[in-house]
Amino acid sequence: MIIKVQNLSKSFKIFKRNPGLKAAIKSFLKRDYFNFDALKDINLEIKSGEILGILGENGAGKTTLIKLIIGLLHPTNGSISVDDYKPWERNYNYLKKVSVVMGQKNQLWWDIPASESFLLNKHIYNIEDNKYHKILDELVDLLDVREKIDIQVRRLSLGERMKMEIIASLLHSPSIVLLDEPTLGLDVISQSKIREFVKYHNEQYKTTFVITSHYTKDIQEMCKRVFVLNKGEQIYDGDFQKLINNINPRRKLIYELPDKYDKNLVNDLSKNFSFIIDDNIITAELAEDILQNLLSNLLNKIPPKSLLFEDLPVEETMRSFFENPDKYLK
């Protein structure tokens, strides 16, 4: 295991602010605090070369977990081992093995071109000239930003800046990369390019990626395994598609009937299957086995003009899950 988390908890001491002028004056003399448990008894193991997705709603503890793994926070209880290093000790050899991209925080110098920030990273990590230029050339070509690296960072689009952040994080060839909301606010094309890049880099170099995202589509396309947090607690660790199928086992069939067909046959099928027919198009959302049965009946009786299978939107599926996770995890 390259990352091992055992019985991990993280609490924050939060100032309790009471309303009213009297309470505000009183708080200058004596402050009241309460403990907020951001993470509670987390256990997680991540293998070398794996892409793990961390899912959870706002405030679930995703970013806190990333910060603990990278060493920006110290755990309240429990332990974290990353390639046999304790992250919070900030050992130089450990820092050369890991990298992090925080989607909501800029790590590049705002008023200079990205190429100059890349040079700074080269010196920080003592990257040899030949190795540096080889890695940089490959990354700028893969992410299609060669013509942008000498432009002031503040003048780049959000998608271009994120690509530059990813390049900066990979220049020293880390074995572990943590991506916190890497596609937040990006257009659909930029999101797709970053997903494809992560999958390519993982396959090519066996880099371990740990990814958090509000966009369930990110996790679905990049990760086979997900670790789900809810209110600071782990509630699922396993195959993402199995979780989706458990929450919503239905698929959608769109079956276009020929211009002329026997309506009695369709009426007979409607007695046994639930579907909608509108303008010669049958639409059905059913469990996989029932849907296949319906399709078999349709194909035998009325050959289609066209047909299409669709998975139901994964965002809606996960929204249902977070509204009542116990319902699906029994």
Concatenate the DSSP letters of all residues of 171-194 into one string.
TT--SEEEEESTTTT--HHHHHHH
Which CATH number does the domain housing residue 278 bear?
Answer: 3.30.70.1150
pTM of the model: 0.83
User: In the listed set 214, 245, 276, which residue is the last one of a domain according to the structure?
Assistant: 245
Contact 60/79 with Cβ under 8 angstroms? Answer: no
Shared domain for 172 and 280, answered yes or no, is: no
Element (H, E) at 12: strand 3-15
- Report the distance separating Cα 106 and Cα 104, nearest Å: 7
Boundaries of domain holding 162: 3-245
Residue 115 lies in a domain: yes
Question: For position 1, what pLDDT does the model report?
Answer: 65
User: In the listed set 245, 265, 287, which residue is the last one of a domain according to the structure?
Assistant: 245
Structure tokens at 109: 């110098």
Question: For position 31, what pLDDT does the model report?
Answer: 72
Question: For position 104, what pLDDT does the model report?
Answer: 65
Shared domain for 300 and 219, answered yes or no, is: no
Q: Is 22 exposed, middle or buried (0-12, 13-18, 19+ CB in 10 A)?
A: exposed
Alpha-carbon distances of 228 from 57, 285, 316, rounded to whole Å: 9, 27, 16
Which CATH number does the domain housing residue 141 bear?
Answer: 3.40.50.300
Beta strand 3-15 pairing with 77-82: antiparallel
**Amino acid in the structure at residue 321:** F
What are the per-10-residue average pLDDT scores of the chain (330 residues)? 92 78 67 85 96 92 93 94 91 91 80 94 94 95 92 91 93 94 85 92 94 88 94 94 85 92 91 91 89 93 91 81 81
